[in-house]
Structure 1
Amino acid sequence: MATEPRLSVCLTFDFDALAVHLGIFGTQDSQSLSRGEFGPFAMPRILKLLADYDIVATFFVPGHTALAYPDVLRRIHDEGHEIGHHGFVHEIPATLDETTERKVFDLGMEALQKTIGVRPRGYRSPGPEFSPHTIDILVENGMVYDATLSGSDFTPYYVRQGDTVSLDSVFQFGAPSSLVAIPFSWDLDDWVHLEFTAEWGPGKPCSAVEEIWRAEFDYAYANVPGGVFDLTMHPQVIGRGSRLEMLRRLIEHMSSRPGVVFESIITYAERWRNAHPLEQWRQEASVHVRERNGGPAIHRED
């Protein structure tokens, strides 16, 4: 019987290219778009680094990127990496009405299927922010996992469906769905640390980011056996030389620990779901499973 990995490392890349500047930042000027264009430019060196260590990664790709750079996307896919859904033009679902959000989801899916013939089974929200309808859309479309939510750090959980939010009454908890949450953290995202924007200011030095990421990994390895370390990167950010060398050092550090595996999110999510059937997990879980009145679903004596 195979031994479960001590810790799974999922290197993920949001291949936004032009879409993030068109979608979130709402700009069409050539300088801003050229920053996005650095993503496909840097992709060969990113893919080489992954190949050097025989790592299968996950790339979340907006439909717009798939149609703009089909050759790059096909190379990513042909080299064995997972492709996940990431909107169409990097629209933030929280800003969309339900009809528009469903249209955008379908457009993104169609673009990926047209380009590489693959229907993604995982999703990361652009932004990343959900609307009240996002979880319903993901469940209806058969997504296995979402890599957007932050209800834990290194421990997956099943996403609740049907939460009711109110500012003047008790929060109403929904029921766990079939959708597996792979935790996301801004601390483990390269954009907020390294990329200059008018809103966030200048980036940090690579040494500071390396220290944060290494410390988070070391904690997960020591304290969360069977967990997942989801590192979120953007080719236009991580693809610069000094940053790729930082990533190389981190890969060397992580791979030196016994029981660490590098794998795609879909591989991890399916193994976790098989090991934690929903109904069994509902009996064992604590904070992520609640009664409609806000209390714990199951009372246990500690």
Structure 2
Amino acid sequence: MTIGCALTFDFDAMSVWVGSYKARNPSMVSRGEFCAVAIPRILDLLAKYKIPGTFCVPGHTALAYPDLIKRIHAEGHEIAHHGWVHENPADFDEAGERRNMELGLEALQKAAGVRPKGYRSPSWDFSANTIKILLDYGFSYDSSLMGGDFIPYYARMGDKYDDKTPYVFGVNVDLVELPITWLLDDFPHFEFVDKDTYGLSAASKVEEIWKDEFDYARLHAPGGLFNLTMHPQVIGRGYRMMMLERLINHYRSFPDVKFTTLIDYVESWRAKNPLAAWRDSGAIQAQPKFQRQMA
């Protein structure tokens, strides 16, 4: 039984500084411009090993760098929705969140003629309306939540919780969740943002973590997905690219590993794990036996 290995890249460019960090300082915003240097490096590396990638792109980035978005698409990689300007969905009412969704979709369509089936929330934040909105817009999967590690599950809608009553689980809906973790994200390990993130780690530290997490997934989560999140403006620095290439060679050294885009993995997994069977199993988010079938 194989395990999927997804190399995903959040192509935030300037949007993360303008949207998430509310920066108006030209120096801070210019950090995002390094993506224009990093994206060709990343695409060349993926082409060298014939690996498909998933690029999560805010609409703001798609309009700033349409030629790079076209190249990503032309080289066969998946493009997923990543908000409008890397905004936190919880900062908006439902109408505002829907408008940001539409702006992102319109920008990706304009830049590369794509209508993504996958979504990754900026900074992995959700509002109470996000899952309903994703269903309304016909998304097949999300990759923003942290209720698992290597085994997908169907997202839930309608959870109820406060600090006085027991947690109430909602109902699983037709949206496959590909869980993520900050542990497998390059930003907190490597980036430096004063009063926020103090990374600048040696590659050896991160390489050890990403290698051991992968090895554990391969041994203990057959049919699962190793979902690695990277940012071009972070991973694209020289010593980190060298680390990524070493990791790729480690991952590809095993015959039971399949590099995949998120959408290709989801379509295979969904066919083997239909929502009706999931609900009939009594699962909420846990891992019923049929869930461990190969994706």
TM-score tier after normalising by the smaller chain length: over 0.9
Verify: 1:210 aligned to 2:199, yes or no: no
**Unmatched 5+ stretches in structure 1:** 290-302
Superposition pairs of residues 153-168 of structure 1, within 5 angstroms: 153-168=149-164
Verify: 1:223 aligned to 2:216, yes or no: no
Q: Which amino acid aligns with 1:213?
A: W
* Distance apart, 1:167 and its partner CA: 2.8
Cross-structure match for 1:22: 18
Q: Distance in 2 between matches of 1:215 and 1:287?
A: 28
Q: 1:193 aligns with which of 178, 189, 195?
A: 189
Q: 2:76 aligns with which of 74, 77, 80?
A: 80
Cross-structure match for 1:281: 278
Cross-structure match for 1:31: 27
Deviations 1:220-264 (A, max 9, x none): 000000000000000000001110110000000010012101010
Which of 39-48 and 7-16 deviates more?
Answer: 39-48
Q: Distance in 2 between matches of 1:238 and 1:87?
A: 21
* Distance apart, 1:79 and its partner CA: 0.4
Q: Distance in 2 between matches of 1:248 and 1:172?
A: 44
Cross-structure match for 2:117: 121
Q: 2:232 aligns with which of 235, 245, 250?
A: 235
* Distance apart, 1:204 and its partner CA: 1.2
Cross-structure match for 1:140: 136
Deviations 1:71-91 (A, max 9, x none): 010000000000000000000
Q: Distance in 1 between matches of 2:243 and 2:257?
A: 19
* Distance apart, 1:140 and its partner CA: 0.8
Deviations 1:19-48 (A, max 9, x none): 000001101212112210001221111100
Q: Which amino acid aligns with 1:281?
A: W
**3-state SS, counterpart of residue 56 of structure 2:** strand
Verify: 1:246 aligned to 2:243, yes or no: yes
Which of 108-117 and 267-276 deviates more?
Answer: 108-117
Deviations 1:115-140 (A, max 9, x none): 11111000000011100000000011
**Unmatched 5+ stretches in structure 2:** 287-295
Q: Distance in 1 between matches of 2:225 and 2:215?
A: 12
Cross-structure match for 2:252: 255
Q: Distance in 2 between matches of 1:70 and 1:165?
A: 42
Superposition pairs of residues 148-187 of structure 1, within 5 angstroms: 148-187=144-183
Q: Distance in 2 between matches of 1:127 and 1:95?
A: 12
Q: Which amino acid aligns with 2:248?
A: I
Stretches of 4+ aligned residues off by more than 6 angstroms: none
Deviations 1:104-159 (A, max 9, x none): 11111111111111110000000111000000000111110000011110000000
Q: Distance in 2 between matches of 1:238 and 1:284?
A: 40
Superposition pairs of residues 285-296 of structure 1, within 5 angstroms: 286-288=283-285
* Distance apart, 1:172 and its partner CA: 2.3
Q: Distance in 1 between matches of 2:223 and 2:77?
A: 22
* Distance apart, 1:68 and its partner CA: 0.5
* Distance apart, 1:165 and its partner CA: 2.6
* Distance apart, 1:162 and its partner CA: 1.6
Q: Which amino acid aligns with 1:165?
A: Y
**3-state SS, counterpart of residue 86 of structure 2:** coil
8 Å CA contact 2:62–2:69 kept in 1: the answer is yes
Q: Distance in 2 between matches of 1:202 and 1:155?
A: 28
**3-state SS, counterpart of residue 32 of structure 1:** helix
* TM-score relative to the length of structure 2: 0.94
Q: Distance in 1 between matches of 2:269 and 2:199?
A: 38
Deviations 1:257-291 (A, max 9, x none): 121010100000010000001111223364517xx
Q: Distance in 2 between matches of 1:261 and 1:40?
A: 28
Q: 2:63 aligns with which of 49, 62, 67?
A: 67
Q: Distance in 2 between matches of 1:137 and 1:124?
A: 13
In structure 2, the CA distance between the partners of 1:269 and 1:285, relative to structure 1 (3 Å rule), is farther
**3-state SS, counterpart of residue 8 of structure 1:** strand
Superposition pairs of residues 31-50 of structure 1, within 5 angstroms: 31-50=27-46
